Chains A and B, each alone.
Chain A
Amino acid sequence: MNGQGGQERQLFEWGRLVKAGLTQPLGLMRRGDVGRILAVQSGEGDVERGLLEMGFVEGACVEVLHYGLLGRDPLAVRINQNMTVALRRCEANAVLVGPLLDQTAGTETVSSREQGAS
């Protein structure tokens, strides 16, 4: 990221997004949805660390690729266009996702999102 001041600015930005209802837990996202991780928080420390270790970290760009037939569970999520991780909705809900703010990482995924929506 870009230093202390940048982080504060970002926190402020996220606060606005949450108020505007532009954020949602990863577990509620639909296939093809993309976004940027705002927060990873779980009551259980181990789940949080597990998620962090698999690359679910604040600032990472995520895209929901697939889910299972029953209960749309589990999810397959692409992180930073690099790595695909399978997880259950329940754990995915510990990850809060907002819109992609900058376009650098999103060009390809945004177009595929439009495909998915059509």
Chain B
Amino acid sequence: MTAGTLVAEGFRPARIALVGPPNSGKTTLFNTLTGGRQKTANYPGVTVERKSGLLKTPGGHPVEVLDLPGSYSLRARSPDEAITRDVVLGRQQQETLPDAIVCVTDATNLGQHLRLLLELRQLGRPLILALNMMDIAQKRGCQISVEALSRQLGIPVVTTVAMRKSGVQDLLGQIDALLNQAPAAGGTAAISDWVEPSPEAIRAYHREVERLLQEAVVREGAPERLTRQLDRVLLHPVAGPLILLAILFVMFQAVFSWAEAPMDWIDGGMAGLQQWLAEHMEESLLKSLLVDGIVAGVGGVVIFLPQILILFLFILLLEDFGYMARAAFLMDRLMSAVGLNGRAFIPLLSSFACAIPGIMAARTIAHPLDRLVTILIAPLMTCSARLPVYVLLIAAFVPNTTVWGGIGLQGLVMFGLYATGIVGALVVAGVLRLTLLRGESQPLLMELPSYKWPNPTNVLLGLWERAKIFMRRIGTIILSLMVVLWFLSTFPAPPDGATEPAIYYSFAGQIGRTLEPLLAPIGFNWQIAIALVPGLAAREVAVAALGTVYALSGDEGTVTEALTATLAQNWTLATALALLAWYVFAPQCLATLATVRRETNSWRWATFMFVYLMVLAYIAAFVTYRVALALGGG
């Protein structure tokens, strides 16, 4: 039985793969077709995994749509492109060939994008060409004869505007038409014979594209002017890097100053809830669990939602606008000094959100050594889970004053912490490149996409998605760890005649006191030690844990007091600074380690990463603590 008859007899939905050059709009199309929420952004290399979704065509055919990483050619250079090649050629394990391929191209750049289509056509599989971004092409006055192109190529051709439902109707129509046809017989010989195109073959494809365009392009569009003009400033040798720095700077200032009001509301709400519980509940273990364990702990993390959303607002806007590839261009020289290339800067920038997508994005790096170094330094970029820790400590210990005319000191310290992470990452990369991971580095070859106005729906959906992820994290991992921690901090009960707070005698207190001698040289007390242990699983837990630990160690009066005030009273400045330094480096995230293991396919590198980060964190905290003490921060 051929795949076609299987489909016709309704055994399984037809499988259609979206294939195309990077940044041509495959994922946008996928989301519109299937109602999915996969990440889209205006730079090449956003999608690095195969994703699938379901769709029912107007003709009633169930279809499984596959979204794939972009690739300029079936000759895969990097691991993400290899996924696309393997799916298209049916080399993926436990997967048959897709029943049809939709080749998604950017209509404003057909000169480059049609070459992949010709490569795909060689395979002899059912194929549809989608000329995407037709709205932009039309705005520039470009006219393409779909009939001529379809006649020349011998395959169906449609125009699409990927983010509009109305813009994909033609495509759906063609898919239906294809599925109604009797399945083409045979047709896999070309696939088993497939070989990587030689340079000569690529040149031949180029000539063929030239010929096709002469036949099919009725009028060429005007060249893009906005991008050219903006780039004159944004890529200027001097102004460009300064603007990049300024953007990052404004981002961290905004994280502090814009979030103040909404944080106060949430804080007020939490305090009210705590007060209400304290007044209206009987004195009991349940009350302690709710007040000290959950509200003091989990509540302490929830209030950072506004800050995380502001950070993501900036990141999403920059991504959609098309600035990420420019940042990589501007950073290339600096990156090459440590043996990487600018391409690696995109995964590193993604790691500002979270190291996990950053590590996955390293799949777009072709060279194995470059890729490994990028993976190993990604956790040094300040991810959003560190934000609560930084904000809490800065708010408690750095005065909220302004320096040099209006720049907030707190935002400045925050910027400094991010900068330390970046510099640390570059130094580590340089050292690794000179020692363990010596070797050639990969040439930079990267498309700089045209600027596009960020799509408000896209940005809002992205923020909503982030808010959901954050709240889900709080509701699952953080909440459960807090319950465990509360339990460990409450039992066993203190002995009679105890002089210290009850938690001091509990399991958690015992663990904290065991670790204290190890951590005393870097200025951490046993309360911090307790918070660091669950904080190994996820960074924000440390904030929640500190909330619980101090709520349990305090008398009734301090329970409702803000954690910042409690910390300011209990810690010296040197301790706070040492803890900040610790957090810049410490590998406090199990999910990251698991991802590194998966992406490098070995525990070896995951272990190596954990150890080197731990050592760095200890040294950094030690030096910070000693220097701060010497300068009188004790």
Confirm or deny: A54 has a beta carbon within 8 angstroms of a beta carbon on chain B: yes
Q: Tally inter-chain residue pairs, CB-CB below 8 A.
A: 118
Stretch of B199-207, B357-365, B463-471 that contacts chain A? B199-207
Confirm or deny: A29 has a beta carbon within 8 angstroms of a beta carbon on chain B: no
How many whole Å from A7's CB to the nearest CB in chain B?
10
Q: With A45-B199, A48-B199, A76-B235 in contact, is A53–B73 under 8 Å at CB?
A: yes
Q: With A49-B199, A54-B72, A84-B448 in contact, is A108–B223 under 8 Å at CB?
A: yes
Neighbour of A66 across the interface among B108, B235, B241, B342, CB < 8 A: B235
Closest to B329 in A: A86
How many whole Å from A95's CB to the nearest CB in chain B?
12
* Residues of chain B within 8 A of A1, CB atoms compared: 207, 210
The answer to whether A65 and B199 have CB atoms under 8 Å apart is no
The answer to whether B72 and A53 have CB atoms under 8 Å apart is yes
Interface centre among B240, B325, B329 (most CB of A within 10 A): B329
The interface residues of chain B, by DSSP majority, are classed as helix
The answer to whether B446 and A86 have CB atoms under 8 Å apart is yes
How many whole Å from A55's CB to the nearest CB in chain B?
5
Within B95-113, the residues touching A (CB, 8 Å) are: 108-109, 111-112
A69 to B336, CA, bound (A): 13
Neighbour of B447 across the interface among A40, A45, A54, CB < 8 A: A54
Within A42-62, the residues touching B (CB, 8 Å) are: 45-55, 57-59
The answer to whether B223 and A82 have CB atoms under 8 Å apart is yes
Confirm or deny: A20 has a beta carbon within 8 angstroms of a beta carbon on chain B: no
The answer to whether B332 and A82 have CB atoms under 8 Å apart is no
Neighbour of B332 across the interface among A46, A54, A68, CB < 8 A: A68
Within B210-258, the residues touching A (CB, 8 Å) are: 210, 223, 227-228, 231-232, 235-238, 240-241
A30 to B240, CA, bound (A): 18
Residues on A facing B (Cβ under 8 Å): 1, 40, 45-55, 57-59, 65-74, 76, 78-88, 90-91, 108
Which 3 pairs across A and B sit closest by C-beta, in order of nearness?
A69-B237, A66-B235, A84-B448
Further 8 A-B residue pairs, CB within 8 A, beyond A51-B445, A55-B112: A52-B199, A52-B206, A53-B115, A53-B202, A73-B333, A76-B235, A85-B445, A87-B444
Residues on B facing A (Cβ under 8 Å): 72-73, 75, 77, 108-109, 111-112, 115, 197-199, 202-203, 206-207, 210, 223, 227-228, 231-232, 235-238, 240-241, 325, 328-330, 332-333, 336, 341-342, 443-448
Sample 11 A-B pairs with CB under 8 A, ordered by A number.
Answer: A1-B207, A47-B443, A53-B72, A59-B206, A69-B241, A71-B333, A73-B333, A81-B223, A83-B112, A86-B332, A87-B443
